[in-house]
């Protein structure tokens, strides 16, 4: 039997099939990972037709690394060009691509490690009016200390002071220590129970005008500010720091873990009732006898202070040793190859001190008097000091730093200068910033810059490059014994950091305020502003 042909659909039937709204009957809804199924009933050509609609859930895409997705997205935008690894490990264009397209940015996953420091040695130059001590790492000058006869540091001295004024609004008190300027004692430095964020004992409840108390200078007087004081007395020794009236026990984090554990076992064998101890980096490799001898020596000093504080105030109770001995105690350790000194009296003083605290270092002290050239001239120290006093510091590739010191903070500006680079702009900026970060760490140590420091690096677009510069800066500061703290890049692209400010820096030690501009660095034409007279340039007046 031959089947009959199906009659063609009319226009109205076709229109009804596509545009006639029908309510869908939901047979099964998707639950969890199940699919969704819908059925719709409609009439086509007089017949009832059921349309079954199944909506499957999309399959979960395979997890890809963010970097891979980002690179795929970039590749799609560029037209799907293939990439191949080049010799440096970076992804580059396949040969034969568009030569006008930009080269990929150079990314650094980690900071380039710093080269190891050269042979360390200490040079001491003694003059009638001042004593200078420098630390050399190979031919490079890294630290400078000076003591002038008219400027003596009093950090560490202990006084029996008298309270002159208590200022609750500033949470501070002025203490008379018998010096030209009264010292400042803040509530946070009054005792171990520090007052922070408005919490803790208020200073007016603990001090009254006329009270006598034992205080120690924590920071020298600078400018118009008096010395900063603390009532938390500590006595530094060669290997340890003894803290009175506390039970704190700490060990320098610069030491390896195995050495820290060894030193911890040693100091726990000595009874320390009423005292706290901090083990210094200089204690590395020291014997048990040397550590215990240092503890006994510091305890004897504290007993003498307790005896001497009885009497009329204000007055000095305990003074730190000479400038030369202080620097040796803090810095001359086993990693120094030698110490050269050009004065016989200083040579004997150094040997006597080391014979008592570190006999193994006595042989490294040498008297240098046979050369016709001065000690500093022979090691090119004078030239490096001159450059350290300059405002501008040149970098090896041609860039430079500009260091400006203000009352509130120090600002360091990084510039490319003569350096133009060889790759793209990001590579040029990265290389210049890495050199600047390393040099900034060196200049902060050499110039002894403290307080708040703001660094304006050249802007970089790649996040990893910014992180690499910060890591290089932290690595350069790792050798600095002065406490530093580096913060992340701010929203304005500035790096903020702090460095403990103890005494005057190199520039402040060898400079004075200009009597013409009073330290502003410019001459004001007040007559032009007030009377309207024309400004006479300085060059014209000098020529006349």
What is the DSSP secondary-structure string of 116-138? PP--EEEEEEE-SSEEEEEEEET
Contact call for residues 237 and 291 (beta carbons, < 8 A)? no
- The partner residues of 219 in beta bridges, in order of sequence, read 228
The closest of 370, 335, 330 to 353, measured between CA atoms, is: 330
| Residue 304, pLDDT score | 92
Instruction: Choose among 442, 420, 440, 441: nearest CA to 431.
Output: 420
Decide which of 143 and 51 is more confident. Answer: 143
Pairing of the two strands 228-230 and 183-186:
parallel
pLDDT range class, residue 46, cuts 50, 70, 90: low
Q: Is the pLDDT of residue 163 over 90?
A: yes
Which pLDDT band holds residue 544 (cuts at 50, 70, 90)?
A: very low
Are residues 147 and 128 in contact, defined by beta-carbon separation less than 8 angstroms?
Answer: no
Burial of 272 (0-12, 13-18, 19+ CB in 10 A): middle
Highest mean pLDDT among 7-16, 179-188, 511-520: 179-188
Using alpha carbons, select from 323, 322, 279 the residue that is nearest to residue 298: 279
Parallel/antiparallel/unpaired status of strands 392-394 and 172-176: unpaired
Give residue limits of the domains in the chain. Answer: 122-150+322-379, 157-230, 234-318, 389-507
Per-residue pLDDT, 70: 47
Instruction: Considering only CA atoms, give the Rg of the chain.
Output: 37
Dihedral sign of CA atoms 339, 343, 346, 351 in order? positive
Q: What's the pLDDT score for residue 440? A: 95
The whole-angstrom separation of Cα 416 and Cα 401 is 9
**Backbone dihedral angles phi then psi of residue 21, each to the nearest 5 degrees:** -70, 135
CA quadruple 449, 455, 457, 462: dihedral sign: positive
The 8-class DSSP code of residue 362 comes to G
Specify whether the CB–CB gap between 291 and 266 falls below 8 A. yes
Give the residue among 478, 465, 473, 467 at the shortest CA–CA distance from 497. Answer: 473
When pLDDT is cut at 50, 70 and 90, the band that residue 111 belongs to is very low
| Cβ neighbour number for residue 313 with a 10 Å cutoff | 19
| C-alpha separations of 470 from 359, 440, 448, 452, 494 in Å | 41, 12, 20, 17, 11
Nearest-angstrom CA–CA distance, 529 and 51: 92
Q: Which residues pair with 371 in a beta bridge?
A: none
pLDDT at 33: 45
Looking up tokens 């050199």 gives 435
The SS3 call for residue 94 is coil
- Give me 478's structure tokens: 């790792």
Least Cα distance to 315 among 163, 177, 142, 425 occurs for: 177
Task: Please compute the mean of the pLDDT values over residues 309-328 and round it to a whole number.
Answer: 90
CA nearest neighbour of 394 among 449, 450, 432, 446: 432
Residue 318: strand pairing partners: 158
Q: Does domain 157-230 have CATH number 2.40.50.140?
A: yes
Distance CA 226, CA 178 (A): 12
Q: Which position has the higher pLDDT, 191 or 297?
A: 297
Fold topology of 122-150+322-379: Nucleotidyltransferase; domain 5 (3.30.420)
For the chain, the first-to-last Cα distance in angstroms comes to 130
Please say if the pLDDT value at position 228 is more than 90. Answer: yes
Read off φ and ψ for residue 268, nearest 5 degrees.
-75, -15
Nearest C-alpha neighbor of 453 from the set 430, 491, 422, 483:
483
Could you tell me if 361 and 368 are in contact, meaning their C-beta atoms sit under 8 angstroms apart? Answer: no
- Angle CA(263)–CA(264)–CA(266) in degrees, nearest 5? 65
Q: What secondary structure letter does DSSP report for 283?
A: G
pLDDT above 50: residue 369: yes
122-150+322-379 shares its CATH topology with 157-230: no
Both structure tokens of 226: 């008096």
Rounded mean pLDDT of 495-521? 85
Best-predicted range by mean pLDDT (189-203, 323-337, 501-515): 323-337
Mean pLDDT computed over every residue of the chain: 79
Q: What is the DSSP string of 169-202?
A: TTTEEEEE-SSSS-EEEEGGGTSSS--BTTBS--
The whole-number pLDDT of residue 90 equals: 40
> Per the structure block, which two tokens stand in for 533?
């007279």
Instruction: Show the tokens assigned to 168.
Output: 């609750």
Residue 91 has pLDDT above 60, yes or no: no
Coil/strand/helix, residue 87? coil
Which pLDDT belongs to residue 454?
A: 96
User: Residue for token digits 């924590």?
Assistant: 218
- Other CB atoms closer than 10 Å to residue 378's CB: what's the count? 14
Q: What pLDDT digit, counting tens, does each position of 474-493 carry?
A: 999 988 888 899 988 887 88
The contacts of residue 100 (CB under 8 Å, 6+ apart) are none
């Amino acid at each position: 039997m031959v089947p009959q042909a199906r009659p063609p659909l009319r226009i109205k039937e076709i229109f009804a099939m596509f545009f006639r709204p029908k309510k869908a009957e939901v047979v099964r809804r998707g639950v969890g990972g199940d699919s969704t199924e819908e059925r719709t009933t409609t009439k086509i050509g007089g017949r009832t037709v059921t349309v079954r609609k199944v909506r499957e859930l999309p399959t979960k895409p395979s997890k890809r690394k963010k970097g891979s997705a980002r690179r795929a997205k970039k590749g799609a935008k560029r037209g799907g060009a293939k990439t191949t690894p080049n010799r440096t490990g970076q992804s580059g264009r396949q040969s034969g691509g568009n030569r006008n397209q930009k080269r990929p940015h150079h990314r650094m996953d980690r900071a380039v490690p710093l080269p190891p420091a050269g042979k360390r040695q200490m040079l001491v130059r003694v003059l009638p009016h001042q004593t200078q001590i420098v630390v050399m790492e190979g031919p490079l000058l890294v630290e400078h200390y000076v003591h002038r006869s008219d400027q003596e540091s009093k950090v560490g001295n202990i006084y029996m002071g008298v309270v002159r004024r208590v200022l609750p609004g500033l949470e501070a008190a002025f203490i008379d220590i018998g010096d030209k300027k009264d010292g400042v004692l803040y509530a946070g430095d009054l005792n171990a129970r520090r007052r922070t964020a408005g919490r803790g004992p208020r200073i007016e409840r603990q001090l009254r005008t006329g009270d006598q108390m034992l205080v120690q200078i924590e920071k020298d007087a600078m400018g118009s500010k008096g010395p900063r004081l603390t009532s938390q007395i500590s006595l530094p020794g060669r290997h340890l720091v003894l803290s009175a009236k506390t039970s704190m026990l700490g060990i320098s984090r610069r030491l390896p873990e195995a050495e820290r554990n060894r030193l911890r076992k040693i100091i726990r064998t000595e009874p320390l009732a009423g005292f706290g101890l901090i083990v210094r980096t200089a204690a590395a490799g020291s014997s048990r006898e040397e550590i215990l001898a240092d503890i006994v020596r510091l305890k004897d000093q504290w007993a003498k202070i307790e005896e001497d504080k009885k009497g009329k105030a204000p007055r000095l109770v305990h003074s730190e040793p000479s400038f030369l001995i202080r620097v040796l105690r803090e810095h001359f350790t086993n990693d120094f190859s030698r110490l050269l000194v050009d004065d016989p009296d200083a040579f004997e003083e150094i040997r006597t001190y080391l014979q008592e605290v570190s006999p193994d270092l006595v042989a490294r002290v040498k008297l240098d008097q046979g050369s016709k050239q001065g000690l500093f001239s022979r090691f090119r120290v004078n030239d490096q000091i001159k450059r350290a006093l300059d405002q501008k510091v040149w970098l090896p590739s041609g860039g430079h730093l500009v260091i400006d010191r203000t009352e509130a903070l120090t600002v360091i500006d990084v510039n490319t200068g003569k350096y133009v680079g060889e790759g793209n702009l990001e590579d040029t900026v990265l290389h210049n910033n890495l050199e600047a970060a390393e040099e900034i760490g060196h200049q902060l140590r050499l110039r002894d810059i403290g307080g708040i420091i703001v660094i304006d690096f050249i802007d970089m677009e790649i996040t990893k490059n910014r992180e690499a510069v910060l890591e290089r800066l932290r690595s350069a500061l790792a050798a600095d014994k002065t406490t530093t703290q580096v913060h992340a890049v701010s929203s304005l692209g500035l790096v903020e950091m702090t460095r403990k400010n103890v005494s005057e820096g190199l520039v402040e030690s060898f400079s004075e305020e200009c009597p013409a501009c009073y330290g502003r660095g410019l001459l004001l034409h007040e007559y032009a502003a007030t009377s309207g007279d024309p400004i006479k340039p300085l060059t014209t007046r000098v020529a006349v």
